[in-house]
């Protein structure tokens, strides 16, 4: 419990630091010497605070989505970006942009969530027909499925001159987050709460259908709940800030190495460390090429891919 409190304190400190990192001069001195109409105060209220909240919500919810997916698939190397979920949500967002560009953002998010749900369900269906002799074949199938869906999305994006928009969706970036443009991410927090409430059910479902049924739980209902949580979180993050790869894979695995696989215990840890990891990467991206900014997907993808390779090599070595 003490370690969790320490992690929360570190995340809070990173959030405070995030408020004061940027090109514009926003510091305690400028804030204390200004009124509510001054530039520093306006930047803090309109940009910095919404951006920090968006980072916290996106980081925690995506990490939880990865944890839930790993539980229902029973594979530690699966998350939305390695199961075709993110690519399916991108395709859904492209479809609704083509056929209903005037729809509100909430409706576009709903369509993206439906496509993400369908893509994840297709991934689970494909696993039934593949002889999974190796644990690494599961993410390989997901990456191949995501590649096919991504190729279809790119074709239609190129065909209808939407490649800049497609690139913006696939490149996670918090620089455009302002007040009024991130509020959908609160749905991600709702997904995190749902995952915590159903944590014991997901833990049991991770032991297999027969075991779950013998304990009197509805295995299919638990699976559907997990798919809904993953789909909503993936769609909300994609629509709000773009794609952030490897986050849902790295954080749950690190937490699993620390405290085990009991989801009731791991959910708070995964949420806090997910938020802290994205906060640290975002601050790093703003500092490395100051006053320019490196997109969060590049920083997280670079660090996450290195950690992913470490986990793969560690798994091979232990085997």
Per-residue confidence (pLDDT) for residue 318, from 0 to 100: 57
> Which tokens belong to 223?
């699976």
Average pLDDT for 205-217: 78
What's the helix, strand, coil split of the chain in %, to 5?
75, 0, 25
- What's the CA gap between 318 and 312, in Å, rounded? 10
Torsion angles phi and psi, residue 143, rounded to 5: -65, -40
Average pLDDT of the residues of the chain: 84
> Which tokens belong to 182?
């991130």
Q: For residue 30, count CB atoms less than 10 angstroms from its CB and return exposed for 0-12, middle for 13-18, buried for 19 or more.
A: middle
**How do residues 219-231 score in pLDDT, each as one tens digit?**
888 888 888 888 8
| Helix, strand or coil, per DSSP, at residue 260 | coil
**How do residues 257-277 score in pLDDT, each as one tens digit?**
888 777 888 889 999 999 999
**How do residues 230-240 score in pLDDT, each as one tens digit?**
888 888 888 88
**How do residues 285-309 score in pLDDT, each as one tens digit?**
988 888 888 888 889 888 888 887 7
Per-residue confidence (pLDDT) for residue 126, from 0 to 100: 86
**How do residues 120-172 score in pLDDT, each as one tens digit?**
889 888 888 877 666 778 888 888 888 999 999 999 988 888 888 788 777 88
- Domains assigned to the chain: 2-318 (1.10.3470.10)
Q: Residue 262's closest CA among 206, 223, 308?
A: 206
pTM of the model: 0.86
Q: Is the pLDDT of residue 12 over 90?
A: yes
Q: Is the pLDDT of residue 254 over 90?
A: no
DSSP 21: -
| Contact present, 31 and 162 (Cβ < 8 Å) | no
DSSP 295: -
Per-residue confidence (pLDDT) for residue 40, from 0 to 100: 74
């Amino acid at each position: 419990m003490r370690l969790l409190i320490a992690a929360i304190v570190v995340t809070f400190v990173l959030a405070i630091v995030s408020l004061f990192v940027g090109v514009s001069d926003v510091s305690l001195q400028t804030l204390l010497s200004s009124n509510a109409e001054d530039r520093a105060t306006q930047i803090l209220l309109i940009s910095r605070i919404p951006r920090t909240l968006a980072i916290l919500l996106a980081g925690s919810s995506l990490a939880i989505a990865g944890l839930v997916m790993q539980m229902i698939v029973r594979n530690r190397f699966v998350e939305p970006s390695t199961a075709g979920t993110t690519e399916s949500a991108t395709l859904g967002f492209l479809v609704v942009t083509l056929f209903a560009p005037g729809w509100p953002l909430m409706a576009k998010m709903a369509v993206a969530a439906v496509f993400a749900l369908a893509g994840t369900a297709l991934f689970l269906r494909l696993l039934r027909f593949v002889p999974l002799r190796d644990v690494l074949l599961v993410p390989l199938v997901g990456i191949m499925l995501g590649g096919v869906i991504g190729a279809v999305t790119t074709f239609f994006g190129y065909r209808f001159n939407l490649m800049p928009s497609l690139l913006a969706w696939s490149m996670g970036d918090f620089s455009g987050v302002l007040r009024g443009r991130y509020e959908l991410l609160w749905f991600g927090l709702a997904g995190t709460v749902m995952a915590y409430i159903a944590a014991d059910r997901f833990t049991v479902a991770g032991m297999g259908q027969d075991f779950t049924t013998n304990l009197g739980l509805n295995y299919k209902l638990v699976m559907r709940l997990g798919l809904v949580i993953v789909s909503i979180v993936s769609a909300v993050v994609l629509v709000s800030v773009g794609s952030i790869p490897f986050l849902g894979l790295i954080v749950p695995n690190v937490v699993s190495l620390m405290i085990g696989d009991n989801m009731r215990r791991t959910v708070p840890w995964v949420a806090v460390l997910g938020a802290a990891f994205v906060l640290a990467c975002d601050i790093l991206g703003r500092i490395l090429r100051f006053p320019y900014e490196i997109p969060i997907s590049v920083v997280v993808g670079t660090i996450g891919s290195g950690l992913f390779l470490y986990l793969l090599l560690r798994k091979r070595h232990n085997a």
